[in-house]
Amino acid sequence: MVSDARLFSLITMINIFTLAVILIMTYQSITAKRANLREDEALIAFNNVKLKITFYILIVCTIIMFLGLPIFSYLFGF
């Protein structure tokens, strides 16, 4: 059991972020599958670019969430 409320809130925020990432990537993959079923080349290319951009943004946010926030919290006592 976590006794420190600040650490608990940080862990809760990370869990909520993880759920949001799962929802976003699931939605993006469903739209990409629909484009593949329609065999629309322009829509497939658009979804490919959109998935890549979303993937890189989520990687940066995940690094900030798992490394940046705990280090910031530890250094400045939040």
Number of independent structural domains in the chain: 1
**Res 1: pLDDT:** 44
Would the pLDDT of 7 be above 80?
A: no
Q: What range defines the domain where residue 12 resides? A: 5-76
pTM, two decimal places: 0.62
Residues 25-69: tens digit of each pLDDT: 888 888 888 888 888 888 888 888 888 888 898 889 888 877 887
Q: How confident is the model at residue 5 (pLDDT cuts 50, 70, 90)?
A: low
Nearest to 56 by CA among 9, 24, 13, 11: 24
